[in-house]
Amino acid sequence: MKALSRLFAAGLVAGATLLVSSSASAQSSRGAGYVQGNVLGFTAFLNTFGGTAFPMEFSGGYHINGSHEGFVIGGAQKFFFRTGFAAATVLRMGYDIAIPIKEMELTIAPYGYGGPAYGDIDLRAHFGFGVEGRFFPLVEGPGKGFFAVARPFEIGFIPFTGGTLVPFTFNLGAGYAF
């Protein structure tokens, strides 16, 4: 748990450094809408229920300013596979920060989410927050919107009849901005 708190603190420092960088104010050249799938990763439950799960998530959203940065609103379908099954359909909101790297782009995306949860136990809701990074390696052509995504930090809360699950999720995936 101590290592996890140090990792979280390091992430906050890195994020704060990026927020004040002058290059973070450049306009994104990627599309405002996006879809993504995060299919590789793990979830560790941090409370007394313990254990791990395999997470999958499919999401999409739209940046209201017309490019792939700024305020974003969207939705996600989340799945957790362990000895049982749990899922949630959530509303997701955040603020994306585009950082140009020559003609490529890195987007730092802090977000929050919430919505109903369901599965093989009496789940009620799933809400939480996290941060992910999207790297756009292609600079022109129809593939310019392709991105790889890494989510190093997401913490959630899933209340149910016997208590509350507290999942910490790390996952990887890919997507397309249009």
- The per-residue pLDDT for 174 is 98
As a whole number of angstroms, the distance between CA 174 and CA 56 comes to 12
- Domain 2-177, architecture per CATH: Beta Barrel (2.40)
- Which amino acid is present at 122? D
- At 4-42, the pLDDT tens digits run 455 454 454 454 444 444 444 457 778 899 999 999 999
In this predicted model, what pLDDT tens digit does every residue of 80-98 receive, in sequence order?
Answer: 998 888 899 999 999 999 9
Q: Which amino acid is at 74?
A: G
Shortest CA distance to 96 belongs to which of 34, 173, 174, 172? 34
pTM over 0.85: no
Q: Which residues contact 164 (CB under 8 A, 6 or more apart)?
A: 47, 157, 158
* Best CA proximity match to 59, nearest among 40, 69, 73: 73
Q: Can you tell me which residue has the tokens 């979280």?
A: 8
Domain segments of the chain as ranges: 2-177
Give bridge partners of residue 93 from the DSSP assignment.
73, 112
Q: For the chain, how far is it from start to end, CA to CA, in angstroms?
A: 39
